[in-house]
Structure 1
């Protein structure tokens, strides 16, 4: 009986190890599916060029197509004026028309989506982009710069506006503080720090070995 009991314990242990290995292999397989032979699009909105710099860092690492979103009617240069306009657009759920048109968006598998935090929300032009395109079956990866207050509800809004896509863990970093007249800061040591953090984040989400098709 004692031998039988020991055998049962050993058998259960082997089953547990096999189950753990199987799950690990599934996890690795999923990462390979995400990171192998993908067509990449990097879309960003940038007012003071900080988000643009992060977009360029991503582009240097994964290649793909880099596109800056532009509006048909650009926002005013004055900071207070743009804050007031964006607040009204958010309140009215207004989607500003975009000048930027991306041809054949269906060919892209992975879409990096970059934006600043405006009023603790997703900027209206990004809402326009998400609302105007079909992202079914695509992988969306948000990245963000902010004035130190964080992402607000922006990443959650991305998920709501692209419900049929897979949204991976996003990236955020502190940029300038336009309210205080501190605009472009992604240079020198700050850029080096951003490059390091971007690479760490991409490794974490399984995108560091991506092989873009274009």
Structure 2
């Protein structure tokens, strides 16, 4: 049995202004609790895995982790998921769209923002996953215009998350969690949604890995699987 003590249920209130999402951290409602984790899974969406080609753009909204100055070998969303896998034994699942996003940043942004405005549900390569054996879902998401990317909304719409604990692992460009916690709560009304960690896309992979491990340690994660 794996034990983890997690900061619970942050609600972030903020404003989108001139393309930048400002948040009021004082509105966060945080509490500590002990969770028993039997079988976790890391589910994430990464833009560079959804452009349909190998040459990842360096200034992408959720691929900013791959800018030349960082010398990163993977996106920070991938890094968080890998650290969770290696530390907790979590399975991994990457959300992928049937229609790839454009590698051109401006075209990708226009589509992504239109999907958010329209509350669209883009088609996925695999929209259903058997979650019955998992009690905790680490959900990795970038923040697009203060919200979750709509492919994540599609996945959550098509899967039963009743009774699950969803821990949000977030990549941002300055907004931290933005409205992602509330977005997920609306789509998963019968799940417990918890704010996990939030890291900048521009952070280097090693520091993100270290922050993930420190977060697990600070919240009393036990490697005991008995």
Say whether the 8 Å CA contact 2:40–2:136 is kept in structure 1: yes
Q: What per-residue deviation string (whole Å, max 9, x for no partner) do you get for residues 2-49 of structure 1?
A: xxxxxxxxxxxxxxxxxxxxxxxxx99x62xx234x111111111222
Shift of 1:108: 1.2
Find out whether 1:195 has 2:221 as its counterpart.
Answer: no
Q: 1:71 to 1:196 in 2, by over 3 A?
A: same
Higher helix share: 1
> Paired residue for 1:137?
163
Unaligned runs of 5+ in 2: 1-30, 48-62, 64-74
- Does the Cα contact within 8 Å between 1:145 and 1:173 map onto a contact in 2? yes
- The equivalent residue for 1:85 is 111
CA contact (8 A) 2:85 2:92 kept: yes
Q: Distance in 2 between matches of 1:101 and 1:107?
A: 17
Output aligned runs, 1:29-44, within 5 Å: 31=34, 34-36=35-37, 38-44=38-44
* Structure 1: unaligned runs, 5 residues or longer: 1-26, 177-184
Structure whose residues are more often strand by fraction: 2
Instruction: Please say which structure displays the higher CA radius of gyration.
Output: 1
RMSD value, Cα: 2.3
CA distance in 2, matches of 1:103, 1:144: 21
Question: What is the match of residue 75 of structure 1?
Answer: 101
Go from structure 1 to structure 2 and tell me whether the alpha carbon gap of 1:54 and 1:106 turns closer, same or farther (over 3 Å shift). Answer: same
> Using a 3 Å threshold, how does the CA distance of structure 1 residues 68 and 211 change in structure 2: closer, same or farther?
farther
1 or 2 for the larger relative contact order (CA 8 Å, sep ≥6)?
2
Deviations 1:72-124 (A, max 9, x none): 11111111001111111112111101112454222211111001111111110
Hey, what's the Cα distance between the residues in 2 that align with 1:162 and 1:151? 17
Question: Which consecutive aligned stretches of 4+ in structure 1 deviate over 6 angstroms post-superposition?
Answer: none
CA distance in 1 between counterparts of 2:125 and 2:88 reads 26
Q: 2:76 aligns with which of 42, 50, 66?
A: 50
Normalised by the size of structure 1, how large is the TM-score?
A: 0.72
